[in-house]
Amino acid sequence: MSAIRSAYTDKLAFFGNSSPQQLLAVYGSPLYVYNENILRRSCRELQLLSAHPGFWVNYSAKANANPSLLRIIREEGCLVDAMSPGELHMNLEAGFSREQILYVCNNVSEAELQNAAEHGLLVSVDSLAQLDLYGRVNRGGNVMLRFNPGIGAGHHQKVVTAGEATKFGIAPEDLDKARALLAAHGLTLAGLNQHIGSLFMEPDGYLDAMDRLLAFAAALRPEELARLEILDFGGGFGIPYHKYGNAARLDMDALGRGIHERISAFAARTGYAGRFYVEPGRYVVAECGLLLGTVHAVKDHAGRRYVGTDLGFNTLMRPVLYNAHHDIEIYRAEDAAESGSLPQTVVGNICESGDILAEDCVLPEIAIGDILGVLDAGAYGFAMCSNYNLRLRPAEVLIMADGSHRLIRRRDNLDDLVRNVRV
């Protein structure tokens, strides 16, 4: 392979003992590739945010629920959340015990709440209506309430999950109504949680929201505070997607200091001896994952260079859904020529004009046969894949600590497409 644009993964030895070309030759294209060392590193970095004995990293499995990755995350000492029976199933598959799984759902059916209760999980509900429903299926049990701290944050309005314009959470003013429902069903309030949104790059908003949750908890009646077991501040920890633009990282030292100070002071002030959770998804898995694809066509049309690939939005939805940016690397066989850079629009093979992975991106000139690597695709990448246009969802491969590779999910096949069909 010649280094057309691969400095970032080269430095990390991302592909272990293989090249992108070798991996595609074995597993086919497109392909999700994950690196175990990078995954372990991000788990450890998060755990260093606070040395408080009650501090836990509760991985939010919606970002990526491949059981092989979940297993590594569990080995690293993280806990996990689930928001659906499917995620719960995967968490159990990966060896998490019921005490290690927190069920954080919204707008779910009685059957789903029943399922969570039967598994013995602590469940967080996010509306008075769901609290009432849960009280009926788990009378006399424990429950957690998702609180809306009134401030949100996120990379796109679609992922801001607190404040006024959102479906999530119980307003602090509704505490007395919640108390009445708790009493009516004999439920114990065992925890409070929140999640203000996804992808913040400055600590302040998260820390302000923590202050609000802690103030809310501190204002509870002493007997209520004494029964709390978990205070969960949510996720949203951002990663820099512009690796080649040297985008700054989230200042984890400053964030860690802010988190540690707050939880230590709260515990000292109130005597709270329960757990404190942070609930990151993206930060854990985004940077350990990359999506490989192949260039099949190049065309110039109306003054624009289109690079046609097998990386349709069925494989990675983030650019289409949120205008999200992902840096792209280019790998080429040794003998091919290299030329200068120009704006190029990288598109997929889906029958929609909006199927654009990167628009007018200045990159070294891409040629048919090149392999592209879409960086930072480990979070909300495979998790949001679909079979749209009846394309097969990619395989997933893990580059293990020793540099070797292992299939952790096979590519869909045509039988998978018809498995649920009845004629």
Residues in the site for ligand LLP, rule: CB under 6 A? 60, 62-63, 104, 159, 161, 195, 198-199, 234-237, 279-283, 318, 322, 379-380
> 374: closest CA among 310, 322, 321?
310
Q: Are 381 and 15 in contact (CB under 8 A)?
A: no
The Cβ-side half-sphere exposure at 304, using a 13 Å CA radius, reads 11
- What are the angstrom distances between the C-alpha of 42 and each of 10, 38, 78, 301? 19, 6, 11, 42
- The residue length of the chain stands at 423
Specify whether 288 is catalytic.
no
- Tokens matching residue 375: 């960086």
CB of 308 or CB of 381, closer to ligand LLP: 381
The C-alpha atoms of residue 375 and residue 289 are separated, in whole angstroms, by 7
For residue 219, the minimal CB distance to ligand LLP (Å) is: 23
Task: Output 199 or 399, the one with its CB closest to ligand LLP.
Answer: 199
**Cβ at position 105, least distance to ligand LLP in Å:** 9
H or E stretch covering 361: strand 356-364
Q: Which is nearer to ligand LLP, 202 or 365 (CB)?
A: 202
For 242-351, where are the E strands, in sequence order? 275-278, 289-301, 304-309, 328-332, 341-347
Report the amino acid identity of residue 375: L
CB 65 within 8 A of CB 384: no
The CA angle 122-281-148, to the nearest 5 degrees, is: 60
How many CB atoms lie under 10 A from the CB of residue 218?
Answer: 12
- The CA distances from residue 221 to 130, 133, 189, 218, in Å, are 23, 24, 12, 8
The least distance separating ligand LLP from the CB of residue 255, rounded to whole angstroms, comes to 13
Question: Is the distance from CB of 405 to CB of 397 less than 8 angstroms?
Answer: yes
Smallest gap, in angstroms, from Cβ of residue 197 to ligand LLP? 7
* 301 CB-near residues (< 8 Å, 6+ apart): none
Q: Give the separation between CA 334 and CA 29, rounded to whole angstroms.
A: 19
- Of 43, 78, 105, 351, which is the active-site residue? 351
Amino acid at 69: L
Of residues 20 and 152, the one with the C-beta less far from ligand LLP: 152
Closer Cβ to ligand LLP, 24 or 82, answer by number: 82
Nearer to ligand LLP, 27 or 56 (CB): 56
Closest CA to 312 of 346, 345, 348: 348
Residue 220 CB, shortest distance to ligand LLP, in Å, is: 21
At closest approach, how far in Å is the CB of 381 from ligand LLP? 8
Least CB distance to ligand LLP at residue 234 (A): 5
Q: How many CA atoms within 13 Å lie on the side-chain side of 301?
A: 7
Q: Using the minimum distance from each CB to ligand LLP, give the nearer residue, 196 or 295.
A: 196
Instruction: Name which of 203 and 281 has its Cβ closer to ligand LLP.
Output: 281
Minimum distance of ligand LLP from residue 239's CB (angstroms): 9
Residue 116's φ and ψ, nearest 5 degrees, are -65, -40
Tally of CB atoms within 10 A around 334:
7
Active site residues: 351
